[in-house]
Amino acid sequence: MEEVKVIVFALNNEEYGIEVDKVRTIERMMPITRVPKTYSFIKGVVNLRGIVVPVIDLRGRFGLEETPVTDNSRIIVVALEEMEVGFIVDSANDVIDIDRDTIDSPPEVVGGIKAKYLDGIAKLGENRLLIMLNLAEVLNKSEISMLEQLEV
């Protein structure tokens, strides 16, 4: 029985998970410097302890309705192909251990989000599902190269 540690966050009243080893830090919202000529879901960049980090609104990325930032909103900074990227989420709730055996393949669409963005669905107890994100698909190669140019 192999367990994986997961950061649980909320988006559009659904719970999502990212493996802890891919997460650098979780930050409160901070001023974001807008960058022109980027995708609308790329909100801009932040200066995080001297490192320029591109920030993406996951709601916008997944085609969900964007909502105003609240006190619970967080930026989850993940490591993705030798760079760091921040994801704006509604809240970051918890760190839990999940048995890998409880993670099933995702259906075609979950909560309006296409399966390619998902790694799987973890069943936690009777009525709780956790949607595992596939970070490699959340940003495709051309978007990653665009973000790398933002860092210059």
Domain holding 108, by residue range, is 3-150
Domain count, the chain: 1
The model's pTM: 0.86
Residue 152: pLDDT band (50, 70, 90) is: very low
In angstroms, the CA 130 to CA 132 distance is 6
Q: Is the pLDDT of residue 26 over 60?
A: yes
Q: Nearest Cα to 88, choosing from 32, 47, 131?
A: 32
Model pLDDT, residue 77: 95
pLDDT digits (tens, 9 = 90+) for 45-86: 999 989 899 999 999 888 888 888 999 999 999 987 778 899
Instruction: Give the mean pLDDT of 106-119.
Output: 66
pLDDT value at residue 8? 95
Most confident of 86-100, 110-124, 126-140: 86-100
The per-residue pLDDT for 79 is: 87
How far, in Å, CA of 21 to CA of 12, rounded?
Answer: 24
How are strands ordered across the β-sheet holding 42-48?
Answer: 23-28, 74-80, 83-89, 51-57, 42-48
Rounded to whole angstroms, the Cα distance separating 35 from 148 reads: 13
Closest CA to 124 of 2, 17, 1: 17
Identify the CATH number of the domain in which residue 113 sits. 2.40.50.180
